[in-house]
Structure 1
């Protein structure tokens, strides 16, 4: 028998929780060093774990849906003198109970947890995993189907009340991870939000004048690019916002690495990062945003694309929201910018000493801070410089 080599989850992972999503090789299948072996998914990115050596996939220790902590053993490869596929399959089969039914202790932890939560017997469910094993996804589907088949209870007599029909939709791994991250942030940081209003007239003029030239170069000039650039300008004036709280000190970052909340439809959202934005022109920022957004929605981001953020922008206005508060801080950062819907509003502007009523493209912008790191004067100063950068945009 050859040497068994562990296949480990990465020691560094981006996100709050990694889940085994899909094995790309079967038990007994030959693999080469560096071959994609298994996919792990966090709330931020899906990444492949490569085979650490040549050999045969001899053991799968974590099934689809199982949580994988950093360094956890996902499976094992048999190196020298690989055993044939049939032997591996037979060895796996021999771990099942002698009666031919899978004993409870051979179900993965995720399946056992689902069985307890849903009140389902996994031995009654057809498995879609390797060699017919029941996966967490199988349990979720079975519970959803059971819930859909339930008939509503009859109304109580004499109008005493009614039972509302409902159905339960199992959370995706990404949604569960996002929920945990949001809850942890609210429990960790005292959130305070300040709201300003920004006039986008200057930005709109500049964009209308230059978007055709950018498009000819293959770059989509979005309003978000201006928001990122204005954030960099505000960071130069109030660098404490670009920071992280520690019990003994405030860590202020030299690089402005700005994460952009990107919606993935029903799946949730992800935050790809524009690294070292302080060194980028408007054109370079727009190009990076275009690339990151496209790859995020194609599930093609690399782990490095979501690492190292020091500040985050939530452009919630793209879905119609005028104001969201508080926008929850992306821990362990100290602040997050919220940008509401850009719309025409009636405003009062002084012209030659006379108040006039004008129609301007306006948006509410908010900065939610970790009050351990920042106070009101820093928050308001940052927003003042941010709004000034937008309203005085000249290229």
Structure 2
């Protein structure tokens, strides 16, 4: 057989953990250079790894669920297929489950490509064994019994998110301040200009106003757009704002609007629309989910009024939370007299890394943010 060529995991992953999602080709299949071979999943994005050269997929060294560190060898390309032999190959994840559960993988029905046994198959088999036969009159009436349950194996994205969140709260002291913002001016501006932008194919979302208001607040309190180092605070000149987008039960991705300080409201809206569409079809590039300096969690879209603390997206220094936009009764002064009015209000929170920022900076940032929202159009609102 000719020389084998390694199929390697990408070297640039911004420190995130990647796992093998699934192979797109089977051993023995002929491939061309660049053909997608295997999908890797991180807490931010799913990406395909292509064939490094023309040839035949000769070896698969990592299976679904296996960790893939940068540069890890996933498999190999050769000039012809290798002899698989009679002994089945089980991934490290499956072998670990076999040891943990005391299960022989050979007795488990595989649902992977080519009938291979996956970690999920092992989890299901173990859960089925724990449940045992259907219960009848067993003589256990009146005695305590373990509650029935089912195991849902973590996806690679969910496991990576969990690790990222734990790392953030472990290393950074989180403090949250909460303000209230009146979106009346934003709603009027959106009503006046939304149809004009819609004719150009641009949806003018409330999130676009939030991003633009963040830029205004960053100009007033630039230290919020920063990263903590043990010997210094690194304050970024570019305002690269990530916006969390839920993928339902699959997890969360945070595409980034780079250099938001140079974009108009319409340009921000168009960028948001494009990123959100491609995020939900796993079509984001690596560059589009990296390089953020600040993050927005628009948790109100799913109904919550307030979420605190929202975990900071390390290594950033702060994250903005925007609650549900809701009509509330407020008191407003008109001609020197207090009046009761109904206004579209939302709670906005800023969670900070208290190593990098203090309360006066936090409150000053929120003050400028709320002012930008409530006095629209501002200089950035044209």
> What TM-score bracket applies, with the shorter chain setting the length?
over 0.9
Find the aligned partners of 1:393 and 1:290 in 2 and give their Cα distance.
21
Distance verdict in 2 for CA 1:133–1:371, change over 3 Å: same
Does structure 2 retain, via aligned residues, the 8 Å contact 1:198–1:391? yes
- The answer to whether the aligner puts 1:26 opposite 2:26 as a matched pair is yes
Residue 8 of structure 1 corresponds to 8
Residue 307 of structure 1 corresponds to 290
Residue 264 of structure 1 corresponds to 247
Per the TM alignment, residue 170 of structure 1 is displaced from its structure 2 partner at its CA by 2.1
CA-to-aligned-CA distance 1:160-215 (integer Å, 9 cap, x gap): 76754332222222212111111111101000000000010100110111111111
Find the aligned partners of 1:289 and 1:357 in 2 and give their Cα distance.
36
Does structure 2 retain, via aligned residues, the 8 Å contact 1:19–1:67? yes
- The answer to whether the aligner puts 1:220 opposite 2:213 as a matched pair is no
Residue 63 of structure 1 corresponds to 63
Residue 117 of structure 2 corresponds to 134
CA-to-aligned-CA distance 1:293-327 (integer Å, 9 cap, x gap): 11111122121111111110001111110100000
Does structure 2 retain, via aligned residues, the 8 Å contact 1:8–1:71? yes
Query: Which structure 1 residue ranges, 5 or more long, are not aligned?
Result: 97-101
**Counterpart among 268, 273, 278 of residue 256 in structure 2:** 273
Distance verdict in 2 for CA 1:230–1:57, change over 3 Å: same
**Residues matched between the structures, number:** 377
Residue 292 of structure 1 corresponds to 275
> Which of 246-255 and 322-331 deviates more?
246-255
> Which of 50-59 and 306-315 deviates more?
50-59
CA-to-aligned-CA distance 1:323-360 (integer Å, 9 cap, x gap): 00000001111100000011111111111211111111
TM (normalized to structure 2)? 0.93
Per the TM alignment, residue 152 of structure 1 is displaced from its structure 2 partner at its CA by 7.0
Query: Which structure 2 residue ranges, 5 or more long, are not aligned?
Result: none
CA-to-aligned-CA distance 1:83-140 (integer Å, 9 cap, x gap): 3x4xx2xx1125x2xxxxx4xxx42211122233444331211223455432223223
Per the TM alignment, residue 41 of structure 1 is displaced from its structure 2 partner at its CA by 0.8
Does structure 1 retain, via aligned residues, the 8 Å contact 2:131–2:148? no
Residue 204 of structure 1 corresponds to 187
Secondary structure of 2:333's partner? strand
Does structure 1 retain, via aligned residues, the 8 Å contact 2:21–2:38? yes
Distance verdict in 2 for CA 1:257–1:148, change over 3 Å: farther
Find the aligned partners of 1:349 and 1:156 in 2 and give their Cα distance.
66
1:326-337 matches, cutoff 5 A:
326-337=309-320
1:228-267 matches, cutoff 5 A:
228-267=211-250
TM (normalized to structure 1)? 0.90
Secondary structure of 1:224's partner? helix
Secondary structure of 2:99's partner? helix
**Counterpart among 78, 85, 109 of residue 93 in structure 1:** 85
Distance verdict in 2 for CA 1:142–1:233, change over 3 Å: same
